[in-house]
Amino acid sequence: MKQYIIKRLLISILVLFGVSILLYGIAHMVPGDYVSNISSGNQNITPEMEQRMREAYGLDKGPVEGYISWLGDAIRGDFGTSFVYKEPVTSIIIKYMPATLALAGISMVLELLLAIPLGILAARRQYSFTDYTIVAIAIVGISLPSFFFAAVLKRVFAIGLGVLPISGMVTARANFTGFALFADMAKHFVLPVTVFVLTSMGSYLRYVRTNMLEVLSADYVRTARAKGLPERKVIAKHAFRNTLIPIVTLFGSMIPALFSGAVITESIFALEGLGNIALKAVYAGDIPYLMGFNMFIAALTLIGTLVSDVLYAVVDPRVRY
Amino acid sequence: MEDLQERNQLEQDEFEQNQVILTPGQLVAKRFFRNKLACVGLGIIIVMILFCAIGPFISPYGEYEIFYINSTTGEEVRMKEDSVGGSDMGINVKAPISSAHWLGTDADGRDVMTRLMYGGRISLFVGIIVVAIELVIGVLMGGIAGYYGGAVDMIIMRLVEIFNSIPFIPLMLIISSVLFASGVKPQHKIFWIMGIMGVLYWAGVARLVRGQILSLRELEYMQAAEATGIRTSKKILKHLIPNVMPIIILIATMDIGGVILTESVLSYLGVGIAWPFASWGNMVDVVKQSVILKNYINIWLPPGICILLTVLAWNFIGDGMRDAFDPRMKR
Amino acid sequence: MKRMRQALALLLSVAMLTALTACGGGGDQKSNEGGNEGDSNANTTQEEGNETADNEEDNSTEKESGGTGTYDTLVIGVQPLDGVFSPFFYQSAYDDQVNSLIFESICELNPDGELVDNCGHVEVKEEKAEDGSTKYVYTVSIKEGMTFSDGEAITIDDVLFTYYVYADPSYDGMSTFATLDIDGMADYVNSEKPLWKAISEAGKENTDFTNWTEEQQTKFWEDLDVAGAAFAQEIVDAVIAGQEEGAENPIQEGDVKGAAASWGFELADGATTLDFFNAMVEQYQGDLATLSDTETAGSSLADLLGETYTQMVALSDVNEIRGIQKVDDYTCTITFNSPNISADKQVAWTSIMPEHYYGAGFSKGNLDSVKEKNTAPLGSGAYVFESYDNNIVSLTANPNYWAGEPKIPNIKVQTVNEEDKVDLVLNGEIDVTDPSASTEIIEQLEAETDKASYTLVDNPGYGYIGINAERVPDLNVRKGLMHLMNRAPAISSYYGELGAVIERPMTPTLAEYPDDATEYYGYDPAKALEYFKAAGYEEKDGKLVKDGEQLTITVGIGDSATHPSTPILTQMANDMEAMGAQLVVNDMQFNILNTEMTGGNLDMWVMAWGNATDCDLTQIFGSKGGSNYQRYSDPKIDAIQAEILKTIDFDERCKLVAEELDMIMEAAVYMPVYQRKNMEIYNATTMNLDTLPEETTTYYNYSKEIETLEMQ
Amino acid sequence: MSALANKNQKKELKEVKKFNLRKYREYNKMMRKKRVPESEYLTKMKNPENIIEFDNLQSYFYTDVGTVKAVDGVSFDIPRGKTIGVVGESGCGKSVTSLSIMRLLQGPQGQIAGGEIRFNQQSTGRVLNLAKASIKEMEKIRGNEISMIFQEPMTTLNPVFTIGDQLCECISLHNPQMNKKDVEQRALETLKMVGIVREGILKNYPHELSGGMRQRVVIAMALACDPQLVIADEPTTALDVTIQAQILDLLRELKNKINASIMLITHDLGVVAEMADYVVVMYAGRVVEQGTADDIFHHPAHPYTIGLMKSRPMLNQKVDRLYSIPGNVPNPVNLPAHCYFKNRCESCVEACSGAYPAMISLSETHKVSCHLHREAGAAVRQAGGAKKQTGGKQNVQ
């Protein structure tokens, strides 16, 4: 096991290396030069000043040279200074991560908490009205773009009914502290999380349902019934543990999807998280931040995959590394 | 005794006639069409394709034709007419539903109905082409990895991991910036976007196909085929490909819907199908303007419904396909 | 393995619990909050509000929802902040909005856009210098007895420190202070140069060998010949490679004279590449840097010279700017070598930065320590920075503010989306914001006047369509294009009353704008076609061609889906297609449009200028202007611009400006499109609207009188 | 013509679907009913010596192409303490019969459509109709009084739980009074009984055991609670030949050790010959012949049984080719009105085209459902004046 994890970690580093080359290459091709961006609206900036700024931002280096110096710094944990925020990329990531992690984390847990029981329920009642209803809702959820949902939900619950805040993370007017602050933040997260859950729960739910259907027709479930186990226990113990096996493999693939989704959701609800900032960074040509952000997610994804592989071994005794 | 045999034969024939023997393809088709939802899905797609393919020929307007309105007489003037330079001309923006504009006009004064038809062409086309590209690359790479194994497999799988680790939307944003700068003409941009999406999506397909081939290789009949020493090409053509087909068709139907959604998200972020061309995605992204969301339901709801129905339909078809191939098959 | 499983289970349950409490909490909060906001005067909801407040054990909430009904916090909605709260280095206008609350400038603009005293004063005097030239001495003084928000006294040293940061060679912010013609400024800023520039500028006859040796100098001039020849060779190669297949008189390999001729230089027969280079040096009067930048066919001269010459040399150790002198603790003088109509704004419309806070660790050429304070600003403005997190900048009233402590105790600056601004005010979540105005928003606000009120002011900028004169060199073609822009319907339907078509490329908010200007190029496709034909284009097989090439124009536009000029391009594309020409419209992200425009890759582009404060147009239309993206230069325009800058008399200046603008219009490189209005909306339920400034203009809004603003 | 046929077919399919939906709904309703009054399923044994009496059992599968009558009117008895072998080709309804006892048909498609399965519950002295009993009641019976050995040892054990988990679960479920240690003790004892004595076996996962070992575990699970009836559904089919022998030995041994009836389902006549006291031959969902082992093996009466006997390889006989019964089992959806075996039968008579033949007693114990034996049956009836026959209902004894 230990050996396996070490081996996987080494491979992950190799993969990260590949990711970084790919990303840097693409990021370097971005034409939206930061300096010309910030200077173009200002009538008084002279070409000399622009040139000086370009040197200051290191934009005058070629791609290979730039990559090598970036890599050298990155290995030491220095991902450079964001052009826009004028702060080290690592500290920006640390600063804005909580919002994104909270959003993505809560959404992920809720998605699983809803998708698993509903998927199981639908499978148990295959071809029943309940089954059709659950599956229909799930599929409608994954058949509309997230921004569409967000706009409509915002219109109905925030603007129309006024029961939820329109955007932001806390109520600015109130100086909440302690639990009140927590509750206030939770309230601001209701809509973004709902959008997340609605738009991605469907695929997991279908996955759970299909797996459950398969497990329910398995011989060992019949055996469990033949032992006289109550149906509830058959499902909760024997069937569920086996559906869990494919579900944990989803874990790794959920992470990049969540962070990609965060880009949209955060920008719609004006949540200051990594995704929203990344969007701004693209528009502004903030290469250091983009590199840092994408590398961060790539690393997270690889860790997620590793965790799901380890979990795979946890839930399935047949798997040994 | 002979009599009996004859009779037996007769009855046997009758029996066989009753019991229609179906080829696997027919069986799949039969199972597919038995699924009501899948049929509805197929129906929706056909209607959508007809609407988008034929509609533009029927519509009297152009895809990006704007309509002027004479502010004193209230008379609508088309873009091609000479009087558009007049001093009392305004643009007929956000016009309500009327007999001239069945779904009104949008914020730039263009006919929503006509754009819906042209937009559908793009959206459906994008979905199909992207999936075709990802399938070609994915099946090829996955097939090579699964079939040859060893170092080739190792390298391809690492590539797959690299592509899987990159968050799609930020990357797509960066890439489309690059596209602009490299002087791609706006009317060609759509092809580039399709190509890039296809290239970015291949990794998932490759992994599935590889998995499928690996498990196929373990199966008895494959080993039997190997034991008889048939040629590699024949082995791939006759044994592997037909068995990978179901999963390929499944991915195809499931992903088309996803790609249509992704295109709309890209349009929303301003990097999708470029003006003046319409796509359902860039038509629906006006929902971000709360004024339009609130007051002009005729502008955003139709493309929204089109996306919903189309993606839903592809999903139904995908589900139907899966059940038709093998009710137990997972994704 | 077992333990691992247990840990996993624990982890999962904790996660679920958190999520559930979060949701539960959210739900509870919902109902209370809804009631509170819906009707804050009803007794029942008040009680509910009280209960919430009690439960929350929070003072400020109690104050807010408790019986008095007063608000102690003003919430300002802005678009995403960069979080750079420093007048030195901010880049976004929204960051600056925060800065303006934290920092105080010496002078301010009044509602008419004129510079008036704030916490200081500036005046100008002409002086005759010893060498006979005229100097312009600005005297800047500040009020005595002011302190920063931390209680430290403000002296003129803080002002001087501010100047020195702006003038620092390593400064990379938005200010152009370092480019001002202040006595000694150039020596201070450009104290370092690459060796090759330094030697070449000193000239062959230089005898000052403090920074380099005599051998180095001789060697350089020798090396320069080699590098110069190589430089010229590159051009020759490029010309030969670039000529068209089957041209009538192809330039042969090695024909330097021919190549130079096509590059624009007349050489004698049998000239070498070195002769070519020398001809170029002559043309540029020895200014190698400019030569290299403008003429290069690939490598720069510095590249060809090699690394030895690119190292930097310090020319002198100038540590002070001669023209900036301290007079006493509250006064200083700034001496300009030439007149400049905006010099007073440059020296006095600037924030006073505390030297004791930002200056620690500052030395010439090193601004790192100043930048470190970007996220923790300290100034003398009406409000004091508390924190910036969760998207919100928290500010509290500055008790030491020189004009008296502000009446509103707290200000929060929250980042919001453009699309949500109006709804946020109507919902009561924010109090002040600046949505981009549209007729629908006005309608919406007019319907709910009890909830919000608004002001409209002219935007100090304008939208335009520019044409690159290098890519479209034929004046007739440009004029033809100008006649295809049907601006009025587009602008009237997009902005209604909130915008207007303008006729000259300058913002009408400036006093110098010629109000009587009339339409220069009306929409007229027939006339356009005439111009195209005059330019030599002919109709052939339904195509408008010249020399076998179809008339094709590439235009760039940003975010076309919501751009007011989009219909203009649509109509233009349609008309050009009808004529047999082609308009290729590129819809781009703003940053890319920018790059493409500045890089000269577009024939035409749609853009806007903002924040103009004076009528100096040299940067845009001057031949050496940094923003001369249309790449059109005309000595006559340069001359008149120079004239304008020196003309202090207003009426005279107006005349000159009108003349200049007509010249620009005649060149057909800039089509002004619209001048729009900026909108500000205020929450009528929380704010005391009577305390808003009486007059709100482009240059003057509530933030100028923030200290007297009151809540309800 | 074909279009019309097509249309008709479609209409038919639609009706099938509608019908199925109604059946599913009925089933779901029944499954969701928490309490079923005892009166609905209490009944009386015909013969108290029997442990199970099938009475006209009908188990149907409602599929999209039509109703599959997997078991259609099966009647036979299982006497206490005896071993009864059920033989027949695959798909003849043997397994469905056994699953019907346990009520383990895959619902809602598979349901018991009619008939009774009377179970003589020793512990309470009641007689239950298992076809109607409440799920609660069934859960008490399953694994406790009636247990089952399945044919695929590879898949019948849950791969993610240890042998101990799965075995103890069964024991503690039906013996709630036992503490954990006793349960484990009991589990080990049972394992020992099936011939597994191995250190740490309880901590092993199924995939760590060989096929034979796994089947022993499955048997142990079936025996753990001292059942009165053990249903062995082709217990050796999926195993290697040598392992098969071992398991058969084990079963034979156990048969003597435990005081339980065994219902042995197999298509292997050799196994039946060695183990069974009584044999039931099934064909296409119906019992075609039943009797003592001796009756069936030495005096087979039904042409199908005869065919089966002939197709058996014999050690001491030399044949050129093994006999095989010609033709196929009829389509289970559209069963003909006449004898199902008619198409394959070599000794058809006129009457075969008529109604499905009734059960005919050839002797006290031997019964057959074939028109060929109508007279013989009548003779017995006259001679014995034995029990009355109604429909296809028959008793073994």
Whichever domain contains A173, its CATH number is: 1.10.3720.10
User: Does C375 contact A87 at a Cβ distance shorter than 8 Å?
Assistant: yes
Please indicate, yes or no, whether residues A125 and A176 belong to a single structural domain of this protein.
Answer: yes
Mind telling me how many Å the CA of C564 is from chain B's nearest CA?
9
* Count of the separate structural domains present in chain A: 2
**From the list B12, B18, B34, which residue is nearest D64 (CB)?**
B34
D-chain CB neighbours of A228 within 8 Å are 138-144, 170, 173-174
Q: Cis before residue D79, ω within 30 degrees of 0?
A: no
User: Does D328 contact B11 at a Cβ distance shorter than 8 Å?
Assistant: no
User: Does C561 contact B286 at a Cβ distance shorter than 8 Å?
Assistant: yes
Give residue C163's pLDDT: 93
Hey, which residues 268-307 in chain C have their CB within 8 Å of chain A? none
Neighbours of chain B (3+ CB pairs under 8 A): A, C, D
Mean pLDDT (whole number) for C643-669: 89
Beta-carbon contacts of C22 under 8 Å, excluding residues fewer than 6 positions away, are A106, A182, A186, A189
A-chain CB neighbours of B168 within 8 Å are 256, 260
In angstroms, the CA C203 to CA C572 distance is: 54
List pLDDT tens digits, range C386-436: 998 888 899 999 998 998 899 999 999 998 988 888 889 988 889 999 888
A40, A75, A110: which is the final residue of a domain?
Answer: A75
ipTM higher than threshold 0.85: no
- Residue D328 sits at the chain B interface (C-beta within 8 Å): yes
User: Does A186 contact C620 at a Cβ distance shorter than 8 Å?
Assistant: no
Task: For residue C147, give the DSSP letter.
Answer: B
In angstroms, the CA D249 to CA B50 distance is: 70
In angstroms, the CA A35 to CA D255 distance is: 90
Cβ atoms < 10 Å from Cβ of C307: 8
For residue A194, give the chain C residue with the closest CA: C23
User: Does A143 contact B174 at a Cβ distance shorter than 8 Å?
Assistant: no
In angstroms, the CA C321 to CA C162 distance is: 13
User: Does A151 contact B174 at a Cβ distance shorter than 8 Å?
Assistant: no
Give residue C104's pLDDT: 93
Cβ atoms < 10 Å from Cβ of B157: 20
A-chain CB neighbours of D207 within 8 Å are 317-318
List pLDDT tens digits, range D342-364: 878 877 888 888 888 888 888 88
Q: Please check the confidence at residue C19 and state whether its pLDDT lies above 50.
A: no
Give residue D6's pLDDT: 66
In angstroms, the CA B108 to CA C490 distance is: 9
- Residue D330 sits at the chain B interface (C-beta within 8 Å): yes
- Residue B11 sits at the chain D interface (C-beta within 8 Å): yes
Half-sphere exposure (CA, 13 Å, Cβ side) for C122? 26
- Residue A228 sits at the chain D interface (C-beta within 8 Å): yes
Average the pLDDT over each of B252-261, C159-168, C466-475, D105-114 and give the range with the smallest value.
D105-114
For residue C596, give the chain B residue with the closest CA: B181
User: Does C61 contact A268 at a Cβ distance shorter than 8 Å?
Assistant: no
- Residue A56 sits at the chain C interface (C-beta within 8 Å): yes
**By percentage, how much of chain A surpasses pLDDT 70?**
89
Please indicate, yes or no, whether residues A42 and A130 belong to a single structural domain of this protein.
Answer: no
In angstroms, the CA A95 to CA C390 distance is: 10
Please indicate, yes or no, whether residues A64 and A161 belong to a single structural domain of this protein.
Answer: no
Q: Where are the alpha helices (DSSP H) in chain B?
A: 2-18, 24-34, 36-58, 112-148, 150-165, 168-181, 186-218, 220-227, 232-234, 241-268, 280-284, 290-295, 297-325
A-chain CB neighbours of D158 within 8 Å are 220, 223-224, 238, 241-242
User: Does D150 contact A218 at a Cβ distance shorter than 8 Å?
Assistant: no
Mind telling me how many Å the CA of D169 is from chain A's nearest CA?
9
- Residue B297 sits at the chain A interface (C-beta within 8 Å): no
User: Does B180 contact C559 at a Cβ distance shorter than 8 Å?
Assistant: no
A43, A75, A107: which is the final residue of a domain?
Answer: A75
Please indicate, yes or no, whether residues A55 and A99 belong to a single structural domain of this protein.
Answer: no
List pLDDT tens digits, range C622-633: 887 777 888 888
- Give the number of beta-carbon pairs within 8 Å between A and D: 79
Please indicate, yes or no, whether residues A235 and A97 belong to a single structural domain of this protein.
Answer: yes
In angstroms, the CA B250 to CA B232 distance is: 26
Mind telling me how many Å the CA of A225 is from chain D's nearest CA?
8
Neighbours of chain C (3+ CB pairs under 8 A): A, B
List pLDDT tens digits, range C476-503: 999 999 999 999 888 888 888 888 899 9
User: Does C493 contact B93 at a Cβ distance shorter than 8 Å?
Assistant: yes
Placement of tokens 């500045």 in the chain: C598
Q: Please check the confidence at residue C43 and state whether its pLDDT lies above 70.
A: no
Average the pLDDT over each of A251-260, C143-152, D62-71, D291-300 and give the range with the smallest value.
A251-260
A-chain CB neighbours of D143 within 8 Å are 226-229
Using DSSP bridges, classify how beta strands D261-265 and D229-233 pair: parallel, antiparallel or unpaired: parallel
Neighbours of chain D (3+ CB pairs under 8 A): A, B
In angstroms, the CA A311 to CA C362 distance is: 54
Structural element, H or E, at residue C454: strand C452-458
A81 lies in a domain? Answer: no
- Give the number of beta-carbon pairs within 8 Å between B and C: 95
Contact D369, D283 (CB under 8 A): no
User: pLDDT truncated to tens, each residue of chain B (331 aa)?
Assistant: 556 566 666 655 655 555 555 667 777 787 788 777 889 999 999 999 999 999 888 888 888 888 888 877 878 888 777 777 777 778 888 888 888 888 888 888 889 999 999 999 988 999 999 999 999 999 888 888 888 888 898 899 888 888 888 878 778 877 777 776 666 777 788 888 888 888 888 888 888 888 888 877 777 667 777 777 777 777 777 777 777 887 788 788 888 988 998 888 888 887 777 777 888 988 888 888 777 888 888 888 999 999 999 999 998 888 888 777 764 443 3
User: Does A168 contact C391 at a Cβ distance shorter than 8 Å?
Assistant: yes
Phi and psi at residue A18, to the nearest 5°: -60, -45
A33 lies in a domain? Answer: yes
List pLDDT tens digits, range A175-207: 777 888 888 888 899 999 999 898 888 888 888
Mind telling me how many Å the CA of D141 is from chain A's nearest CA?
7
Mind telling me how many Å the CA of D379 is from chain B's nearest CA?
28
In angstroms, the CA D343 to CA B16 distance is: 12
Cα distances (angstroms) measured from residue C541 to each of A9, C186, C548, C552, C577? 66, 60, 11, 16, 13
Please indicate, yes or no, whether residues A29 and A110 belong to a single structural domain of this protein.
Answer: no
DSSP string computed for B185-254: -HHHHHHHHHHHHHHHHHHHHHHHHHHHHHHHHHSHHHHHHHHTT--HHHIIIIIIHHHHHHHHHHHHHH
Mind telling me how many Å the CA of A132 is from chain D's nearest CA?
14
List pLDDT tens digits, range C72-92: 899 999 988 888 899 998 878
Please indicate, yes or no, whether residues A36 and A132 belong to a single structural domain of this protein.
Answer: no
User: Does A226 contact D104 at a Cβ distance shorter than 8 Å?
Assistant: yes
- Residue A280 sits at the chain D interface (C-beta within 8 Å): no
Mean pLDDT (whole number) for A300-316: 84
For residue A174, give the chain C residue with the closest CA: C61
Hey, which residues 223-262 in chain A have their CB within 8 Å of chain C? none
A60 lies in a domain? Answer: yes
Average the pLDDT over each of A80-84, A116-120, C348-352, D219-223 and give the range with the smallest value.
A80-84
Chains C, D in contact, 3 or more Cβ pairs below 8 Å: no
User: Does A145 contact B261 at a Cβ distance shorter than 8 Å?
Assistant: yes
Mind telling me how many Å the CA of D292 is from chain B's nearest CA?
32
Beta-carbon contacts of D297 under 8 Å, excluding residues fewer than 6 positions away, are D269, D273, D279, D309
Cα distances (angstroms) measured from residue B136 to each of A168, B239, B250, C138, D161? 44, 19, 14, 73, 42
- Domain containing A234 equals 93-315
User: Does C578 contact B80 at a Cβ distance shorter than 8 Å?
Assistant: yes
A9 lies in a domain? Answer: yes
Mind telling me how many Å the CA of B321 is from chain C's nearest CA?
35
Give residue C47's pLDDT: 35
Please indicate, yes or no, whether residues A30 and A118 belong to a single structural domain of this protein.
Answer: no
- Give the number of beta-carbon pairs within 8 Å between B and D: 21
Contact D339, D352 (CB under 8 A): yes
Q: Report residue C471 as tokens.
A: 């890519």
Mind telling me how many Å the CA of A200 is from chain C's nearest CA?
17
Structural element, H or E, at residue C673: strand C670-683
Give residue C669's pLDDT: 92
Q: Please check the confidence at residue A36 and state whether its pLDDT lies above 80.
A: no
For residue B20, give the chain D residue with the closest CA: D331
Please indicate, yes or no, whether residues A201 and A283 belong to a single structural domain of this protein.
Answer: yes
User: Does B186 contact C585 at a Cβ distance shorter than 8 Å?
Assistant: yes
Task: State the pLDDT confidence band at C316, using cuts at 50, 70 and 90.
Answer: low
Q: Which residues of chain D have pLDDT under 70?
A: 1-6, 314-322, 376-397
B-chain CB neighbours of C493 within 8 Å are 90-93, 109
In angstroms, the CA D165 to CA C52 distance is: 51
DSSP string computed for D314-359: -TT---SS-----S-PPPSSS--SS-TTGGG-SS--GGGGSSPPPP
Please indicate, yes or no, whether residues A99 and A205 belong to a single structural domain of this protein.
Answer: yes
Please indicate, yes or no, whether residues A177 and A111 belong to a single structural domain of this protein.
Answer: yes
Task: State the pLDDT confidence band at A51, using cuts at 50, 70 and 90.
Answer: low
**From the list C31, C176, C390, which residue is nearest A169 (CB)?**
C390
User: Does A176 contact C420 at a Cβ distance shorter than 8 Å?
Assistant: no
**What are chain B's domains?**
62-110 (no CATH), 112-325 (1.10.3720.10)
Give residue C673's pLDDT: 93
A47, A75, A103: which is the final residue of a domain?
Answer: A75
Phi and psi at residue D155, to the nearest 5°: -115, -10
Please indicate, yes or no, whether residues A129 and A262 belong to a single structural domain of this protein.
Answer: yes
